[in-house]
């Protein structure tokens, strides 16, 4: 722990409200709970937080007690530590005030997560302001040493292991009605589905329905849930079991991933949380008009599958990801059946991958250690980082 009483400003422009805002909320909460910071979350769409913060009493307490303060985009009094997320750029008046403050705050641009090779060369580089005498630092999350690592709160891996070992009732099940609290039959494969509305989602559901595994599919709230409900209504004799989840806080969301056998996730926040869950998964990566998302996905798959000893399992997982992201509905049935056959090998890989990632220092520890090295100071800096 880096003990601090300095102030931190986090800037967030919402694009995918459960991704961008979700990452920023996790970051803000960890700054408060593990490092004693006073946090101001400057967000252009505070309503985006309502879907997952308002349903979690522990998160709401952080707001009610003023440990995290939501602020408008018009703020002009810089904190000691400034983190702009995903290249959102702080407002011009804020940057001018930042440049005039003495000592100058330590300023970071926390970038998008990528497994592409160029990240290693860009992590930590300075980004001087084009007209002001101040510079920020690029900080890139990543999966390998030499990057900024991944957001991971203290004790997370131990909590995942304990929960999975005990097969205890999760936080999500406490929100469900009594008739849904019983465990599903052991032959059911537990699948968590959190994706965007997608043109081949119906084909995936058909593949699951016809596949070799009986499936209990827990579908998170959002547009995809409506699409799945429409599919279920159109197929009244389906054998696939469905549970329609309400809006969940981040802790309950994580627990659903931990308790599943296979996870479909989206964006960036849930992509990382699926990896900490140590379960097989695939990624509904946010599409980009120039197809940059295909390059990004391929880079991650190369890294993730690099040491998967079962070649057929590696090929099955890759085929599923490719069929989904390229919207090849006809290929999904074959790919899903292959993944089901190779689940033991994919589960072993997911566990080993989580352990490998856990060897890195977490993102916030790395960022604060770097910030102290760059002169971050405050009235509560009790001891140097360790």
Contact 240, 208 (CB under 8 A): yes
**Residue of 268, 269, 284, 362 marked catalytic:** 268
- 42 φ/ψ angles, rounded to the nearest 5 degrees: -95, 110
The contacts of residue 289 (CB under 8 Å, 6+ apart) are none
The tokens for 177 are 């009605």
Residue 291 appears among annotated catalytic residues: no
Catalytic residue from among 20, 59, 80, 269: 20
Active site residue 312: no
As given in the structure block, the two tokens for residue 195 are 């994706």
Give the span between the Cα atoms of 183 and 188, in whole angstroms: 10
For 124, how many CA atoms within 13 A lie in the half-sphere containing its CB?
Answer: 17
Helix, strand, coil abundance in the chain, percent, nearest 5: 45, 15, 40
Q: Order across the sheet with 126-128: list the strands.
A: 68-71, 38-43, 7-12, 81-85, 106-110, 135-139, 126-128
Catalytic residues: 20, 268
């Amino acid at each position: 722990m880096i003990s601090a009483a300095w102030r931190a400003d986090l800037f967030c422009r919402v694009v995918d409200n459960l991704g961008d805002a979700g990452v920023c909320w996790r970051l803000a909460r960890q700054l408060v709970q593990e490092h004693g910071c006073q946090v101001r979350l400057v967000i252009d769409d505070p309503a985006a937080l309502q879907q997952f913060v308002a349903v979690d009493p522990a998160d709401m307490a952080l707001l009610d007690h003023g440990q995290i303060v939501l602020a408008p985009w018009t703020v002009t009094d810089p904190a000691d530590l400034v983190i702009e997320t995903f290249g959102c750029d702080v407002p011009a008046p804020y940057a001018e005030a930042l440049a005039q403050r003495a000592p100058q705050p330590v300023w970071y641009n926390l970038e998008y997560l990528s497994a592409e090779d160029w990240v290693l060369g860009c992590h930590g580089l300075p980004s001087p302001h084009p007209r002001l005498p101040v510079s920020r630092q690029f900080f890139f999350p990543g999966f390998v040493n030499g990057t900024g690592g991944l957001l991971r709160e203290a004790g997370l891996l131990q909590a995942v292991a304990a929960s999975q070992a005990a097969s205890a009732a999760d936080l999500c099940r406490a929100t469900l009605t009594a008739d849904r609290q019983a465990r599903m039959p052991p032959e059911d494969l537990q699948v968590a589905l959190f994706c965007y509305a997608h043109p081949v989602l119906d084909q995936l559901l058909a593949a699951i329905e016809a596949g070799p595994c009986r499936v209990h599919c827990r579908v998170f709230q959002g547009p995809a849930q409506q699409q799945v409900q429409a599919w279920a209504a159109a197929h009244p004799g389906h054998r696939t079991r469905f549970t329609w989840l309400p809006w969940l806080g981040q802790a309950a969301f994580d627990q659903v991933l931990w308790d599943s056998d296979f996870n479909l996730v989206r964006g960036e926040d849930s992509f990382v949380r699926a990896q900490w869950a140590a379960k097989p998964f695939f990624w509904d990566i946010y599409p980009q008009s120039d197809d940059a998302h295909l390059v990004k996905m391929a880079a991650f798959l190369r890294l993730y599958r690099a040491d998967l000893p079962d070649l057929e399992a590696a090929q099955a997982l890759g085929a599923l990801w490719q069929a989904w992201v390229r919207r090849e509905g006809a290929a999904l049935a074959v790919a899903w059946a292959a993944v089901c056959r190779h689940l033991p090998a994919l589960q072993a890989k997911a566990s080993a991958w989580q352990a490998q990632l856990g060897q890195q220092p977490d993102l916030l520890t790395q960022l604060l250690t770097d910030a102290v090295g760059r002169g971050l100071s405050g009235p509560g800096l009790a001891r140097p980082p360790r």
